[in-house]
Amino acid sequence: MNMKTILVIGAGRSSSSLIDYLLKQSEVHEWKIIVGDASIEAARSKINLHKNGTPIAFDIQQNESHAIIGEADLVISLLPPPFHPIVAVQCLKYSKHLLTASYVSDEMKAFDKEAREKHLIFLNECGLDPGIDHMSAMQVIDKIRSNGGTLLSFHSFTGGLIAADTDPENPWRYKFTWNPRNVVMAGQGTAKFLHEGKFKYIPYQQLFKRTTQVRVEGGDYEGYANRDSLKYIETYGLQGIKSMLRGTLRNKGFCAAWNVLVQLGCCDDTYEMDAVEAMSHADFLNSFLPENNSNIKQKLKEIPGLINSNEIDFLDWSGFFDDTPVGLNRGTPAQILEHILNKKWKLNESDKDQIVMWHRFVYEHEKKTKEIQSSLVATGSDSVYTAMAKTVGLPLAIAAKLILLGKIKSRGVVIPIDKEIYNPVLEELKTVGIVFHETES
């Protein structure tokens, strides 16, 4: 008997569904699942006494931790992206496959040759976004091409939101289901995309104003452009495409309200504010407002073009006009903002999140212009088995199974844009309710 071992590094927010799936599969395939985390308690709680699971204390920055990689057949790293190369070096040393849900960094790319030589697959970008977005898009793109069509335009938006029955009074329809710091810093820099053959640029100060309205399965959303929509033109083989835009989805009203914070400079992470220890929520907002004697809401309304609808209500719900102390001794605007937002945006135990993904493909087929829309709505079960944890973790878990069963032949540093990966992964995702709906016109 050849009992296989999977090592999962990281037992945080996005690991619950992944570990559950692997433990269930371990009963069928006689696998051993080792879960390593800096907190062995976190690892233990995810394994929940399953007979095939072993929790261990694992600290990527301690060399003694690395030897365990030698005992695995396949490693899934859920660590923050900067740590993946350290794991990759050990995987090369011990000849182990590696899976991540993170973007391929230049450092990761450099391992391609050695991984191929050792017949290893280093599969990255195999979560939700990046991950399911690649797989679901490439499945449609490959179908259009194999039917002789030519893609003219590709738009794709993904958002991690909250379900309709969660926090019904929360006007943002949003809570932190992912790294809160990344949410606060989102969009800084300039978004770049392609529109009808022209390069287009949206700076941060316009980003949350220039949104795209999107209707997905009966729901109305708005999307803002991601930083670089162009880099997947080559990856997806879309050279010559006229329009290409990837973005982030939010519920209606979110972007206009978030734009208020952006315009005021509340998301700035480049300097520390003064007198933070004595600062209230209202003081925080007021320090970015003109120095006249109007009250804060009035000042916001007096800034031309800033308040156009119910943005004040959003800020009010988040407590920005309260005299509550911030509760930090120091911090950049971004750090203080995150701290204030987290008081209302932290996921409660019974909260359900919701993932919404939407693609639109416009293509030419036999001299006619046609369109396919493809969409996914996935809802979490609670604050542990979130839609985010399912959609990030299950593609990794399914890919891990396929690799151990010898069903994936690709080797080297890859992302899931090839049929042999995306077809079986998307097929199995359907069985757990992660299903794309397609409409053609």
Interacting residue ranges for a copy of itself, rule: CB under 8 A? 189-190, 192, 195-196, 198-206, 209-210, 262-265, 268, 270-271, 273-275, 286-288, 290-291, 303-306, 308, 333
Q: How far is 317 from 333, CA to CA, in rounded Å?
A: 19
Least separation in angstroms between residue 291's CB and a copy of itself is 4
Decide: 341 and 184 in contact? Cβ < 8 Å. Answer: yes
Residue 8 or 261 with smaller CB distance to a copy of itself: 261
Reading the block at residue 135, the tokens are 């797989």
- How many Cβ atoms are within 10 Å of 355's Cβ, its own excluded? 25
Reading the block at residue 364, the tokens are 């030419």
Least separation in angstroms between residue 309's CB and a copy of itself is 11
Least separation in angstroms between residue 257's CB and a copy of itself is 15
Residue 79 or 337 with smaller CB distance to a copy of itself: 337
Please provide residue 104's backbone torsions phi and psi, each rounded to the nearest 5 degrees.
-70, 115
Residue 211 or 318 with smaller CB distance to a copy of itself: 211
What's the one-letter identity of residue 72?
A
Q: Residue 315 contacts by C-beta under 8 Å, 6 or more apart in sequence?
A: 257, 260, 261, 285, 300, 321
Least separation in angstroms between residue 338's CB and a copy of itself is 17
Paired with 62 in beta bridges are none
Decide: 139 and 426 in contact? Cβ < 8 Å. Answer: yes
Least separation in angstroms between residue 357's CB and a copy of itself is 22
Residue 192 or 344 with smaller CB distance to a copy of itself: 192
Least separation in angstroms between residue 144's CB and a copy of itself is 23
Residue 209 or 370 with smaller CB distance to a copy of itself: 209
Question: Peptide bond before 130: cis, by omega within 30 degrees of 0?
Answer: yes
Residue 50 or 210 with smaller CB distance to a copy of itself: 210
Radius of gyration of the chain (CA): 23
Reading the block at residue 41, the tokens are 């308690």
- How many Cβ atoms are within 10 Å of 149's Cβ, its own excluded? 18
Residue 80 or 203 with smaller CB distance to a copy of itself: 203
Q: How far is 129 from 159, CA to CA, in rounded Å?
A: 9
Residue 38 or 262 with smaller CB distance to a copy of itself: 262
CA trace torsion 273, 276, 278, 284 (10° rounding): 60
Phi-psi region of 75 (alpha: psi -120 to 50; beta: other; left: phi over 0): beta
Question: Peptide bond before 325: cis, by omega within 30 degrees of 0?
Answer: no
Least separation in angstroms between residue 186's CB and a copy of itself is 16
Reading the block at residue 352, the tokens are 């359900």
Residue 124 or 286 with smaller CB distance to a copy of itself: 286
Least separation in angstroms between residue 315's CB and a copy of itself is 17
Least separation in angstroms between residue 199's CB and a copy of itself is 4
